[in-house]
Amino acid sequence: MSDRAADLDGRYRVEARCLPFTPSWFWEVIDTLQGAIVENSLALSRTVYLSSAEAVAAGLRYLDGTAARKAA
């Protein structure tokens, strides 16, 4: 099970995935040009969320922070 959201330029996509046999969700950032996972909340901070919407929102905040650091 997963939910999706794309960033503004469309290159990266955030997906929320449910951990099997738990009520926990994590996010993944997918590079749509390369078709590869570039980051996820489990590897980054071992963080899980109670809903897919919460996980997607956190993944989008991660993307926004990454974009802001690149622009600076």
State pLDDT tens for residues 15-65: 999 999 999 999 999 999 999 999 999 999 999 999 999 999 999 999 888
Contacts of 62 (CB under 8 A, 6+ apart): 14, 27, 29, 39, 41, 44
> How many domains is the chain built from?
1
**Bridge partners (DSSP) listed for residue 39:** 29
Q: Is the pLDDT of residue 8 over 70?
A: no
Which domain range does residue 36 map to?
Answer: 2-71
d(CA 37, CA 16): 12
Predicted model pTM = 0.81
